[in-house]
Chains A and B, each alone.
Chain A
Amino acid sequence: ETGVTQSPTHLIKTRGQQVTLRCSSQSGHNTVSWYQQALGQGPQFIFQYYREEENGRGNFPPRFSGLQFPNYSSELNVNALELDDSALYLCASSRTGADTQYFGPGTRLTVL
Protein backbone atom coordinates (compact mmCIF):
# COMPACT_ATOMS: atom_id res chain seq x y z
CA GLU A 1 0.00 0.00 0.00
CA THR A 2 1.48 3.35 -1.08
CA GLY A 3 1.40 6.18 1.42
CA VAL A 4 0.80 9.86 0.80
CA THR A 5 3.46 11.47 -1.37
CA GLN A 6 4.15 15.14 -2.03
CA SER A 7 6.28 17.04 -4.50
CA PRO A 8 8.48 18.93 -4.55
CA THR A 9 10.27 18.49 -1.24
CA HIS A 10 11.61 22.03 -1.14
CA LEU A 11 10.82 25.14 -3.12
CA ILE A 12 12.15 28.69 -3.13
CA LYS A 13 10.08 31.46 -4.70
CA THR A 14 10.08 35.25 -4.63
CA ARG A 15 7.31 37.52 -3.47
CA GLY A 16 4.51 37.91 -6.04
CA GLN A 17 5.20 34.62 -7.81
CA GLN A 18 2.82 31.69 -8.06
CA VAL A 19 3.45 28.12 -6.87
CA THR A 20 1.84 24.71 -7.38
CA LEU A 21 2.30 21.89 -4.90
CA ARG A 22 1.26 18.32 -5.60
CA CYS A 23 -0.03 15.43 -3.55
CA SER A 24 -0.87 11.80 -4.25
CA SER A 25 -3.28 10.26 -1.79
CA GLN A 26 -2.96 6.87 -0.13
CA SER A 27 -4.64 4.08 -2.07
CA GLY A 28 -8.30 3.66 -1.11
CA HIS A 29 -8.59 7.27 0.05
CA ASN A 30 -10.82 9.71 -1.83
CA THR A 31 -10.40 12.75 0.41
CA VAL A 32 -7.42 15.11 0.49
CA SER A 33 -6.86 17.91 2.99
CA TRP A 34 -4.18 20.59 2.85
CA TYR A 35 -2.57 22.23 5.87
CA GLN A 36 -0.05 25.00 6.39
CA GLN A 37 2.39 24.62 9.26
CA ALA A 38 4.35 27.72 10.21
CA LEU A 39 7.43 27.42 12.37
CA GLY A 40 6.56 26.57 15.98
CA GLN A 41 2.87 26.14 15.20
CA GLY A 42 0.51 23.25 14.62
CA PRO A 43 -0.89 22.54 11.16
CA GLN A 44 -3.62 24.99 10.07
CA PHE A 45 -6.41 23.71 7.79
CA ILE A 46 -6.47 25.29 4.34
CA PHE A 47 -9.15 23.24 2.56
CA GLN A 48 -10.35 19.75 1.81
CA TYR A 49 -11.33 18.02 -1.44
CA TYR A 50 -13.71 15.10 -1.65
CA ARG A 51 -14.38 13.43 -4.99
CA GLU A 52 -13.03 16.43 -6.90
CA GLU A 53 -15.15 19.02 -5.05
CA GLU A 54 -14.04 21.45 -2.35
CA ASN A 55 -15.51 20.15 0.91
CA GLY A 56 -14.64 22.82 3.42
CA ARG A 57 -12.22 25.68 3.72
CA GLY A 58 -10.27 27.24 6.56
CA ASN A 59 -9.44 30.89 7.10
CA PHE A 60 -7.21 31.37 4.07
CA PRO A 61 -7.62 34.00 1.31
CA PRO A 62 -8.84 33.10 -2.21
CA ARG A 63 -5.30 33.23 -3.59
CA PHE A 64 -5.01 29.76 -2.04
CA SER A 65 -6.83 27.43 -4.41
CA GLY A 66 -6.86 23.74 -5.16
CA LEU A 67 -7.87 20.92 -7.41
CA GLN A 68 -8.53 17.24 -7.04
CA PHE A 69 -8.24 14.89 -9.99
CA PRO A 70 -10.21 11.70 -10.84
CA ASN A 71 -7.41 9.57 -9.37
CA TYR A 72 -7.82 11.60 -6.11
CA SER A 73 -4.44 13.26 -6.37
CA SER A 74 -4.51 16.97 -5.62
CA GLU A 75 -2.81 20.30 -6.21
CA LEU A 76 -2.49 23.37 -4.02
CA ASN A 77 -1.96 26.63 -5.89
CA VAL A 78 -0.89 29.84 -4.21
CA ASN A 79 -0.90 33.09 -6.19
CA ALA A 80 0.78 36.40 -5.39
CA LEU A 81 3.11 34.83 -2.83
CA GLU A 82 3.81 36.78 0.33
CA LEU A 83 6.71 36.40 2.77
CA ASP A 84 4.30 34.98 5.39
CA ASP A 85 3.45 32.11 3.05
CA SER A 86 6.82 30.59 3.93
CA ALA A 87 5.88 27.37 5.73
CA LEU A 88 5.66 23.61 5.53
CA TYR A 89 2.66 22.58 3.43
CA LEU A 90 1.18 19.25 4.39
CA CYS A 91 -1.21 17.09 2.47
CA ALA A 92 -3.29 14.45 4.24
CA SER A 93 -5.58 11.80 2.79
CA SER A 94 -8.46 9.94 4.38
CA ARG A 95 -11.31 7.63 3.46
CA THR A 96 -13.87 10.31 4.31
CA GLY A 97 -13.75 13.92 5.42
CA ALA A 98 -14.09 13.13 9.11
CA ASP A 99 -11.91 10.02 9.19
CA THR A 100 -8.32 9.73 10.44
CA GLN A 101 -6.00 11.67 8.17
CA TYR A 102 -2.64 10.33 7.04
CA PHE A 103 -0.01 12.88 6.17
CA GLY A 104 2.63 13.12 3.50
CA PRO A 105 6.16 14.35 4.21
CA GLY A 106 5.32 17.95 3.28
CA THR A 107 6.72 20.60 0.96
CA ARG A 108 8.90 23.28 2.52
CA LEU A 109 8.14 26.60 0.75
CA THR A 110 10.42 29.57 1.24
CA VAL A 111 9.33 32.96 -0.10
CA LEU A 112 12.09 35.55 -0.46
Chain B
Amino acid sequence: DQQVKQNSPSLSVQEGRISILNCDYTNSMFDYFLWYKKYPAEGPTFLISISSIKDKNEDGRFTVFLNKSAKHLSLHIVPSQPGDSAVYFCAASSNTGNQFYFGTGTSLTVIP
Protein backbone atom coordinates (compact mmCIF):
# COMPACT_ATOMS: atom_id res chain seq x y z
CA ASP B 1 0.00 0.00 0.00
CA GLN B 2 1.57 3.26 -1.18
CA GLN B 3 1.26 5.78 1.65
CA VAL B 4 2.99 8.55 -0.28
CA LYS B 5 1.99 9.18 -3.88
CA GLN B 6 3.38 11.31 -6.65
CA ASN B 7 0.83 11.02 -9.41
CA SER B 8 2.79 12.87 -12.09
CA PRO B 9 5.66 10.72 -13.38
CA SER B 10 7.07 13.60 -15.41
CA LEU B 11 6.92 17.37 -15.82
CA SER B 12 8.45 19.72 -18.40
CA VAL B 13 8.90 23.43 -17.72
CA GLN B 14 10.54 26.29 -19.60
CA GLU B 15 13.64 27.82 -18.02
CA GLY B 16 12.72 30.77 -15.81
CA ARG B 17 9.17 29.60 -15.19
CA ILE B 18 7.78 28.00 -12.04
CA SER B 19 7.94 24.23 -11.49
CA ILE B 20 5.29 22.75 -9.21
CA LEU B 21 5.70 19.17 -8.03
CA ASN B 22 2.91 17.55 -6.08
CA CYS B 23 2.72 14.83 -3.46
CA ASP B 24 -0.21 13.25 -1.60
CA TYR B 25 -0.16 11.07 1.49
CA THR B 26 -2.69 8.87 3.23
CA ASN B 27 -1.35 8.44 6.77
CA SER B 28 -2.61 11.19 9.09
CA MET B 29 0.19 10.35 11.56
CA PHE B 30 2.83 11.73 9.19
CA ASP B 31 4.24 14.94 10.62
CA TYR B 32 7.58 15.46 8.89
CA PHE B 33 8.04 15.76 5.15
CA LEU B 34 11.06 16.09 2.93
CA TRP B 35 11.89 16.58 -0.72
CA TYR B 36 14.89 14.95 -2.33
CA LYS B 37 16.42 15.46 -5.75
CA LYS B 38 18.12 12.61 -7.56
CA TYR B 39 20.40 12.62 -10.57
CA PRO B 40 21.09 9.37 -12.45
CA ALA B 41 23.78 7.20 -10.83
CA GLU B 42 23.72 9.29 -7.64
CA GLY B 43 21.96 8.97 -4.32
CA PRO B 44 19.08 11.31 -3.40
CA THR B 45 20.15 14.76 -2.24
CA PHE B 46 18.16 16.45 0.51
CA LEU B 47 16.49 19.67 -0.68
CA ILE B 48 14.02 20.98 1.86
CA SER B 49 11.82 19.80 4.72
CA ILE B 50 8.68 20.88 6.53
CA SER B 51 7.12 19.81 9.80
CA SER B 52 3.39 19.64 10.35
CA ILE B 53 3.39 22.68 12.61
CA LYS B 54 4.09 24.82 9.55
CA ASP B 55 2.30 25.24 6.25
CA LYS B 56 5.21 26.75 4.32
CA ASN B 57 8.98 26.58 4.31
CA GLU B 58 11.25 28.48 1.98
CA ASP B 59 14.90 28.06 1.04
CA GLY B 60 16.12 30.20 -1.82
CA ARG B 61 14.37 29.16 -5.02
CA PHE B 62 12.63 26.25 -3.29
CA THR B 63 9.39 26.50 -1.31
CA VAL B 64 7.42 23.63 0.14
CA PHE B 65 3.73 24.02 0.99
CA LEU B 66 1.83 21.67 3.28
CA ASN B 67 -1.96 21.33 3.35
CA LYS B 68 -2.65 18.96 6.24
CA SER B 69 -6.41 18.84 5.76
CA ALA B 70 -5.95 17.72 2.15
CA LYS B 71 -2.92 15.55 3.01
CA HIS B 72 -1.06 17.26 0.21
CA LEU B 73 2.29 18.93 -0.18
CA SER B 74 3.92 20.64 -3.09
CA LEU B 75 7.37 21.85 -4.04
CA HIS B 76 7.69 25.10 -5.96
CA ILE B 77 10.90 25.95 -7.80
CA VAL B 78 11.17 29.57 -8.97
CA PRO B 79 12.81 30.35 -11.32
CA SER B 80 13.45 26.92 -12.80
CA GLN B 81 16.94 26.30 -14.20
CA PRO B 82 18.23 23.55 -16.53
CA GLY B 83 20.34 22.19 -13.65
CA ASP B 84 17.10 21.45 -11.80
CA SER B 85 16.37 18.65 -14.28
CA ALA B 86 16.30 15.52 -12.10
CA VAL B 87 13.90 13.12 -10.40
CA TYR B 88 12.25 14.58 -7.31
CA PHE B 89 11.02 12.39 -4.46
CA CYS B 90 8.84 13.39 -1.57
CA ALA B 91 9.12 11.47 1.68
CA ALA B 92 7.17 11.41 4.93
CA SER B 93 7.58 10.09 8.46
CA SER B 94 5.84 10.20 11.80
CA ASN B 95 7.45 11.08 15.14
CA THR B 96 6.54 7.63 16.41
CA GLY B 97 8.41 5.93 13.60
CA ASN B 98 11.89 5.84 12.24
CA GLN B 99 11.42 5.21 8.56
CA PHE B 100 10.66 7.51 5.72
CA TYR B 101 8.04 6.54 3.16
CA PHE B 102 8.89 7.69 -0.34
CA GLY B 103 6.79 8.47 -3.36
CA THR B 104 7.65 7.05 -6.77
CA GLY B 105 9.20 10.28 -7.98
CA THR B 106 8.53 12.96 -10.60
CA SER B 107 11.03 13.49 -13.39
CA LEU B 108 11.44 17.22 -14.00
CA THR B 109 12.88 18.51 -17.27
CA VAL B 110 13.68 22.22 -17.51
CA ILE B 111 13.92 23.27 -21.12
CA PRO B 112 16.48 26.01 -21.90
Contact = CB atoms under 8 A, between A and B. Distances in A.
B25 interface: no
A86 to B, nearest CB: 16
Interface string A13-48: 000000000000000000101010000111111001
Interface residues of A, number: 27
B43 A42 contact: no
Contact of A103 (B32, B45, B95, B99): B45
Interface string B6-42: 1000000000000000000000000010101000011
Interface stretch (B59-67, B68-76, B78-86, B102-110): B102-110
Q: Looking at B36, B41, B43, which has the most chain A CB atoms within 10 Å of its CB?
A: B43
A104 B43 contact: yes
Q: Looking at A4, A31, A98, which has the most chain B CB atoms within 10 Å of its CB?
A: A98
B77 interface: no
B43 A90 contact: yes
A42 B4 CA distance: 10
Given A90-B44, A100-B49, A105-B42, A42 B105 contact: yes
A97 B98 contact: yes
Contacts of B102: 35, 42-44
Interface in A42-80: 42-45, 48, 50, 55-56, 58
A101 interface: yes
23 contacts: A31-B98, A33-B99, A33-B100, A41-B105, A42-B91, A42-B102, A42-B104, A43-B89, A43-B100, A48-B98, A50-B98, A55-B98, A56-B97, A56-B99, A58-B99, A90-B43, A92-B43, A98-B98, A103-B36, A103-B43, A105-B42, A106-B42, A106-B43
Interface of A: 4, 6, 31, 33, 35, 40-45, 48, 50, 55-56, 58, 90, 92, 97-98, 100-106
